Amino acid sequence: MENAAYSVPASLSEPIADYLDFLRLQRGRSENTLRAYAVDLRDLSGFLGSQLHKVRWDRVQIEDLREWLAGMHEAQISRTTIARRISSVKNFFAWAQKNQIINDDPALRLVAPKKERRLPHVLQPSQIDRLLSQNAAEAAASHNVQDANDQKEPKKDQKDFALAARDKVIAELLYASGLRISELVSLDVPDIDFSRRTLRVLGKGNKVRVVPFGLPAQRVLTTWLETYRMVLADEQKSGNALLLGARGGRLNVRQAREVITRALKSLGDTAATGPHALRHTVATHLLDGGADLRAVQEFLGHASLATTQLYTHVSVERLRQSYSQAHPRA
């Protein structure tokens, strides 16, 4: 249910812009969060204007919101997306009432569907080993770019080696430190403390946490920084960014996601897709290995322990499956 073609009147769009400014300036919400709020609120405002011909927020009633909700159900939009949109709308109307844009809050009685609690796909340790070994030969084929220069190899070959080395850093760090993909691409070189093997990470809500990484990640990071980053670096574009794109600018979320999506697909024996699969995997492996739940919560940067507890369900489900397969009287 999209209303992108409908031109939203200023009487609806301006309060949305003011609300987004409030979230940005006073609540410090991330750009990803702001984009999600903007999409959700513009979907509602487009529906109100194009379908119900309402052009003022103080004219909106609970019946209008329920009609919007029914349209999303008919369009077979996922329960998770619907729940997020309703949360965005309820927060907006609460702000609008507080700021006297509306007198009564029509969203108070709007009920969101329960979110789908699907257990995430988790990679086995053997699959992780294969994933992190991919492209290792290519990344190591020219261990030192200076050697390539001495042999007068084409510049394209040097760039290919550099991209392979960068992709290995992406996979290693996602698994080593359980980072969100947005956190990974936001890393700067000074965020790395090699003496302690830790990363300084700016997470959701602009909260900073320090997370560890292991020796394999240290090795690929060192190779990248000492040998390959300089191949892609651009004096005007790179700055302190740890991970660079082919043109020298900071690697973006889409590009990093494509790297992992391709790598997971190439495994051929997993339903796991996208970089969040590695975050799911490291959380589950830590808990399987006996890590404390609250330590894993801090490691992942979860605001709520309930979010981290999802991975205990994954561990229990894996145990149940193993029991069913192996126990004589299962």
Is 153 found in the same domain as 87?
no
pLDDT of residue 91: 95
Q: pTM here?
A: 0.62
pLDDT one-digit tens code per residue, 292-321 = 888 888 888 887 877 777 777 666 665 566
Number of domains in the chain: 2
Spot the catalytic one: 229, 257, 279, 285: 279
Query: Is residue 123 domain-resident?
Result: no
Residues spanned by the domain of 269 = 129-326
pLDDT one-digit tens code per residue, 148-190 = 444 444 466 889 999 999 999 999 999 999 899 999 999 999 9
Spot the catalytic one: 204, 209, 237, 318: 204
CATH classification at residue 285? 1.10.443.10
pLDDT of residue 4: 45
Active site residue 265: no
Domain boundary among 82, 98, 114: 98
Residue 170, helix vs strand vs coil = helix
Spot the catalytic one: 143, 159, 276, 318: 276
Structural contact between residues 242 and 192, judged by C-beta atoms closer than 8 angstroms: yes
Is 73 found in the same domain as 213?
no
Spot the catalytic one: 180, 250, 280, 285: 180
pLDDT of residue 317: 60
Average confidence score pLDDT of the chain: 84
Share above pLDDT 90 across residues of the chain, in percent, rounded to a whole number: 47
- Compute the distance between CA of residue 87 and CA of residue 99 in angstroms, rounded to an integer: 18
Active site residue 311: yes
Q: What is the mean pLDDT of residues 198-226?
A: 91
pLDDT of residue 6: 55
Q: How would DSSP label each residue in 31-94?
A: HHHHHHHHHHHHHHHHHHHHTS----GGG--HHHHHHHHHHHHHTT--HHHHHHHHHHHHHHHH
pLDDT one-digit tens code per residue, 63-115 = 999 999 999 988 888 888 898 999 999 999 999 999 999 999 999 988 877 66
Active site residue 143: no
pLDDT of residue 35: 92
CATH classification at residue 27? 1.10.150
Residue 227 has pLDDT above 90, yes or no: yes
Q: Which amino acid is at 30?
A: S
Residue 53 has pLDDT above 90, yes or no: no
pLDDT of residue 315: 64
